[in-house]
């Protein structure tokens, strides 16, 4: 099959590659504009994990032509063939994207008017010639659609971004939700930092309080309609019905025959000699599974066969298709089988290889996609290479930037702000990323100075300015690319303190560092409050007291994590005592304020499936569940929702303080309905209902560096203060 020249760079390094189809050809989209999609176009998106493994997506806008749709299918098949059938293939459609796809764009995706046919191109904009209105929808799956710049596009229940180039206005309707306001603010920050390279100011405005700059563009505020309902609710019980078909070309043409009418299916139904279609048309999805020994023609024609199947069933033309080779099954596919066992679980573990996790997850060959979501997030924020370029770091002091001693690179103190300049080359051209790291305990003056100095550093680079990406980083939320810059050393985040000479704040007498490997295989050591509940059986920890130094090795910790913990211990100073979990001396527990429960889930000590987080509601009388895309964090727990954390052998129902009374009292039934609707047929799973602010270690252990004080803060107020400081 023909090979496009763009494929020569495909999958060569971890991260995201995006191409737009232009006049039946492929043109790359700049990394800073990943997440922007013209609704009149079609795209090919390739995500490469560090393992490596590959996901190939075609994305079709609502106004794309039939020719562009056809070209997308051809290019995706060609790319799959070029990569010898290794990728998983996904078809995506505007407003119907998979959770896997949306997970690549943590701040959300933006639908833009027009397309290549009408002369619209992906170009970076810095100046004031931009005038557009974005309608933001969703609480977890964030989507911003460009609409007419007119009051007629507004309503009281949603949030909008009025983008006027140098000024970005976040407009909140009087009936909009606080959690949605937080997500819209994150999207506004993303536009400022990536599309405007920091050269724009964000303004927070509410309905009825529009400044003159806005009314000059839109006119006076009229009476607005109430908010529209959120995404169409679908009963998950009906969504999870499926049938299984065998695909065969034995008669000379592709035919399908029924294997099983309904799920859950048995894994033994799948033969490595054949290809299969799993029909989940009730949820607008079709899966194609390719056996390792199936004929080359059957494997190559998988996408074509799926599209023909969709036509025969009279399913909508926007039905999603996922094509996967045996061994690379997606979580969504495996959920339709009773007790699906991956290769390592049936034949015994092979060489362990940790590739990133929320808790301990050993590599499952060919199936790492859901374990790499931190890398996915990093792709949007400039995950451009392996971190081997040039690094320069300055600390902000008295409104100026002061060079940091290179021997201490990789250490960040909560009482400081830093500028990290990363330089690398692509095709002979030098490019740069400026990370502005802001500690949680630094002063207001330093926060303001860090933003000013970032722009000043960008401007000082003269002609290279258009090749600079600015990324603001708050303490504890470092993207994996930043974590990977320190030549094999872990990135170390000190809870407070400062690295400047004569600094006023000093570290605590007892200090505990949590060491975990990221999805890019880089190490991060985060200082946490020194108490027993902070421990986790899956990781390594370094504990420093005035008269002792312990290196604690959890049962699930990797050799790489233990090595990183030794490095952290060497910086803390003293003679190290290595401690195995369950063999701790009395002095260890005394230093932590006594022995208490911590995360020791047995599930985490063996090969496990990655946990999944859902927001749930039964307000309509039916259970509605929306999955949180990409690697979730504590920030994804919405106080006005009931959330379900599914760890495979246990279900946690987390009840937010602001959830409505119906959901609070109905939480146990929500969990029962969730288990009953599981397409794999699970039953008898322990269900724990917990309240916000009363989370046990068995729950918090699934979140790295859980912040027990977070619930005392208003997330909307915190993010607004972040904007003011910048």
Query: In the predicted model, is pLDDT for residue 214 greater than 90?
Result: yes
> How many other β-carbons are positioned within 10 Å of the β-carbon of residue 334?
17
* pLDDT of 151: 95
Rounded mean pLDDT of 119-129? 56
Mean pLDDT of the chain: 79
Contact 676, 646 (CB under 8 A): no
Per-residue pLDDT band for 380 (boundaries 50, 70, 90) equals very low
Quote the CA–CA distance of 155 and 227 in Å, as a whole number: 5
Helix ranges restricted to H, 381-443 = none
pLDDT digits (tens, 9 = 90+) for 548-596: 999 999 998 989 999 999 999 999 989 999 999 999 999 999 999 999 9
* Euclidean distance between CA atoms 444 and 442, whole angstroms: 7
Bigger pLDDT: 596 or 190?
596
Backbone φ and ψ for 716, nearest 5 degrees, come out as -65, -45
Give the pLDDT confidence score for residue 118 in this predicted structure. 63
Residue whose C-alpha is closest to residue 342's, from 649, 650, 606, 676: 606
Between 275 and 608, where is the model more confident? 275
Q: CB pairs under 8 A, 24+ apart, for 572-577?
A: 572/511, 572/513, 572/542, 572/544, 573/544, 573/549, 574/544, 574/548, 574/549, 575/549, 576/549, 576/550, 576/551, 577/548, 577/549, 577/550, 577/551
**pLDDT band of 341, cuts 50, 70, 90:** low
Distance CA 349, CA 501 (A): 50
Report for 262-276, 418-432, 607-621: range of highest mean pLDDT? 262-276
Task: Give the C-alpha separation, 202 to 304, whole Å.
Answer: 47
pLDDT in tens, 241-287: 889 999 877 656 778 889 998 888 888 899 998 899 999 988 888 99
pLDDT digits (tens, 9 = 90+) for 434-453: 888 988 888 888 888 888 89
How many helices and strands in the chain, by DSSP H and E? 17, 34
């Amino acid at each position: 099959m023909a090979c496009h020249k763009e494929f020569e760079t495909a999958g060569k390094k971890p991260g995201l590659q995006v191409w737009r189809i232009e006049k039946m050809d492929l043109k790359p989209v700049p990394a800073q504009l990943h997440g922007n999609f013209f609704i009149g176009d079609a795209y090919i998106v390739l995500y490469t994990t560090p393992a490596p493994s590959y996901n190939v997506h075609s994305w079709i806008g609502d106004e794309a032509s039939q020719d562009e749709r056809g070209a997308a299918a051809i290019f995706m098949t060609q790319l799959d063939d070029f990569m010898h059938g290794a990728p998983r293939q996904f078809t995506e459609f505007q407003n119907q994207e998979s959770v896997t796809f949306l997970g690549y764009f943590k701040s959300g995706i933006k639908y833009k008017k027009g397309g290549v046919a009408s002369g619209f191109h992906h170009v970076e904009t810095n100046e004031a010639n931009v005038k557009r209105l974005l309608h933001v929808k969703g609480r977890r799956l964030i989507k911003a659609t460009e609409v007419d710049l007119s009051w007629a596009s507004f309503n009281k229940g949603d949030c909008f971004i009025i983008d006027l180039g140098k000024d970005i206005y976040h407009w909140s309707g009087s009936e909009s939700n606080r959690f949605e306001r937080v997500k819209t603010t994150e999207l506004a920050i993303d536009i400022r930092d990536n599309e405007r390279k920091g050269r724009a100011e964000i303004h927070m405005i509410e309905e009825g309080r529009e400044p003159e700059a806005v009314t000059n563009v839109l006119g006076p505020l009229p009476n607005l309609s109430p908010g529209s309902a959120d995404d169409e609710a679908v009963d998950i019980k009906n969504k999870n019905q499926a049938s299984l078909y065998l695909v065969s070309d034995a008669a000379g043409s592709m035919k399908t025959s029924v294997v099983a009418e309904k799920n859950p299916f048995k894994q033994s139904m799948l033969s490595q000699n054949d290809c299969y279609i799993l029909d989940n048309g009730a949820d607008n999805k079709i899966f194609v599974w390719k056996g390792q020994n199936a004929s080359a023609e059957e494997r190559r024609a998988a996408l074509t066969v799926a599209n023909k199947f969709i036509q025969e069933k009279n399913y909508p033309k926007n039905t999603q298709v996922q094509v996967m080779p045996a061994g690379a099954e997606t979580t969504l596919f495996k959920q339709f089988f009773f007790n699906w066992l991956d290769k390592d679980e049936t034949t015994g573990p092979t060489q362990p290889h940790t590739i990133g996790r929320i808790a301990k997850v050993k590599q499952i060959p060919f199936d790492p996609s859901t374990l790499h979501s931190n890398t996915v997030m990093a792709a949007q924020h400039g995950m451009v290479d392996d971190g081997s370029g040039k690094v320069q770091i300055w600390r902000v002091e008295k409104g100026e930037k002061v060079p940091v001693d290179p021997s201490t690179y990789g250490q960040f103190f909560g009482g400081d702000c830093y500028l990290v300049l990363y330089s690398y080359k692509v095709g002979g051209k030098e490019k740069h990323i400026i990370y502005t790291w802001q500690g949680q305990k630094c002063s207001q003056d330093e926060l303001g100075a860090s933003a000013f100095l970032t722009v000043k550093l960008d401007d000082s680079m003269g002609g290279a300015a258009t090749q600079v990406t600015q990324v603001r980083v708050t303490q504890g939320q470092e993207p994996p690319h930043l974590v990977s810059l320190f030549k094999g050393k872990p990135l170390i985040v000190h809870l407070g303190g400062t690295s400047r000479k004569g600094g006023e704040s000093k570290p605590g007498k007892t200090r505990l560092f949590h060491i975990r490997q990221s999805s890019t295989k880089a190490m991060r050591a985060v200082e946490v409050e020194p108490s027993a509940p902070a421990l986790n059986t899956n990781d390594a920890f370094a504990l420093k007291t005035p008269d002792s130094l312990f290196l604690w090795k959890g049962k699930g910790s990797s050799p790489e994590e233990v090595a990183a913990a030794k490095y952290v211990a060497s910086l803390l100073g003293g003679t190290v005592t290595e401690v195995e979990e369950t063999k701790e001396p009395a002095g260890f527990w005394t230093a932590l304020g006594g022995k208490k429960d911590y995360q020791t889930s047995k599930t985490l000590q063996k090969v496990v499936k990655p946990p999944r987080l859902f927001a749930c509601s039964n307000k309509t009388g039916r259970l509605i569940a929306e999955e949180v895309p990409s690697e979730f964090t504590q920030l994804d727990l919405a106080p006005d929702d009931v959330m379900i954390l599914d760890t495979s052998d246990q279900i946690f129902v987390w009840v937010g303080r602001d959830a409505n009374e119906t959901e609070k009292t109905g939480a146990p039934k929500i969990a029962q309905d969730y288990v009953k609707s599981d397409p794999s047929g699970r039953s008898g799973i322990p269900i724990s209902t917990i309240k916000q602010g009363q989370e046990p270690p068995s729950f918090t252990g699934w979140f790295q560096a859980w912040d027990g004080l977070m619930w005392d803060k208003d997330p909307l107020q915190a993010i607004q203060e972040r904007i003011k400081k910048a």
